[in-house]
Structure 1
Amino acid sequence: MSTGDKIHNTGDKLKGTAKEAAGKAVGNERLEAEGRADQAKGDLKQAGEHVKDAFKS
């Protein structure tokens, strides 16, 4: 997995965490849901990269 991919995936997760926290703080359920979705997207991309790495070895 390239370093750029790791940084991008981590960025998605951090962005999601921030959105979820902001949504909780202001009581915006839609923003919370978007945050959880962004986190899941980052996790899924990260898992895909791990699979690619496993086949490269």
Structure 2
Amino acid sequence: MATLERSPADRVTVALTVVFSLSLLVVSRSGDPRLWIGWSVLMVVLSGAALIRFNRPTHRP
């Protein structure tokens, strides 16, 4: 059975997906609009930072 090599970008993608899903579950149950806004800003910053980090031409894993 072959093992798949995981790149740092793959690990970050999985981590972001887990954080996104779990935090969405918590926020959706709260119903507080301020929490929704804070959550959305945080998710945009996190995903944007990951995109910038892994798409730079000088990326070093």
The normalised TM-score by structure 2 is 0.49
Give unpaired runs (5+ residues) of structure 1: none
2:43 matches 1:34: no
The residue aligned with 1:50 is: 54
Write out the 4+ residue segments of structure 1 that deviate beyond 6 Å after TM superposition. Answer: 10-13
2:25 matches 1:21: yes
Please say which structure displays the higher CA radius of gyration. 2
Aligned length: 52
The normalised TM-score by structure 1 is 0.51
Percentage of matched positions with identical amino acids? 6
Give unpaired runs (5+ residues) of structure 2: 1-7
Structure 1 or 2: more helix by fraction: 1
